[in-house]
Amino acid sequence: MNSRAFIAAGSIAVMAATSSGPATAREAFGDDVASRTQALALLQTLNADLLSHPSATLTLERWCGDHGLAGEAKIVANRVKGQDKPLPAADRETLAIGPDEPVRYRRVRLSCGSHVLSEADNWYVPSRLTPEMNQILDSTDQPFGKVVQALHFRRQTISADLLWSPLPKGWEMEAPLPASHPGPLAIPHEVLRHRAVLYTEANQPFSLVVETYTADVLAFGKR
């Protein structure tokens, strides 16, 4: 088995391990090919997990618990108040609403313990939620996905973009692998971004979300 095939096999092993149960604390990723491969496998695992479940909040809660990111695996939504982003005109068609339909905007940071795992922009149609849901969203920091659970919604992902890759494109073939350096691997703040629409049981769109996941999703054992 050549070195690239060996690394690829290790990547698969890491992905299997991360989905099998709680992990023990680990040191920061080193700046070497093996650690870069582990980081890539973990990002791919998280991406697949997010794509296969309707609620990013609940998925992050499981991720937090499985990887020991906090003493208690509980996601807390911290609203960023005082900001407003109008819904782009093209996205009114995405939500199947007219030009005069009211839309509300909510920006939140989803944290587990001391780690901000996601920063999310959310535009939603209040007329398609219950009055109680709207009241909770207006007056509390509760995560959107938990508030609207009673809608039994489904999620349709429009795009899922890896914003940072620890290994270069084509690494598994002949692309040059990065040289190793002493010290921890430098991971940028933003690593993954999803854009998705939420639909009610009646297949009516009611929310557009843009979720940006941070380097803290890889901060295992750091509480």
Q: What is the pLDDT of residues 92-130, one digit of tens each?
A: 999 999 999 999 999 999 999 999 999 999 999 999 999
In the 3-class helix/strand/coil scheme, how is the chain assigned residue by residue?
CCHHHHHHHHHHHHHHHHCCCCCCCCCCCEECHHHHHHHHHHHHHHHHHHHCCCCHHHHHHHHHHHCCCCCCCCEEEEECCCCCCCCCHHHHHHCCCCCCCCCEEEEEEEEECCEEEEEEEEEECHHHCCHHHHHHHHHCCCCHHHHCHHHCCEEEEEEEEECCCCCCCCCCCCCCCCCCEEEECCCCCEEEEEEEEEECCCCCEEEEEEEEEEHHHHCCCCC
Average pLDDT over residues 138-151: 88
Average pLDDT over residues 82-93: 89
What percentage of the chain exceeds 70 in pLDDT? 87
State residue 134's pLDDT score: 97
State residue 173's pLDDT score: 72
State residue 222's pLDDT score: 65
Give residue for tokens 């690494």.
Answer: 171
Average pLDDT over residues 8-34: 56
State residue 106's pLDDT score: 93
Does position 142 have pLDDT exceeding 90, yes or no? no
Nearest CA among 57, 66, 73 for reference residue 213: 57
Does position 26 have pLDDT exceeding 80, yes or no? no
Q: Annotate 131-152 with b (16+ C-beta within 10 A) or e (fewer).
A: eebbebbeeeebbbbebbeebe
- The mean pLDDT value of the chain amounts to 85
Each residue of 32-62: pLDDT tens digit? Answer: 999 999 999 999 999 999 998 878 888 999 9
Each residue of 161-213: pLDDT tens digit? Answer: 999 998 888 777 777 788 888 988 999 999 999 999 999 999 999 999 999 99
Average pLDDT over residues 19-44: 76
Span 3-218: which CATH code? 3.40.1410.10
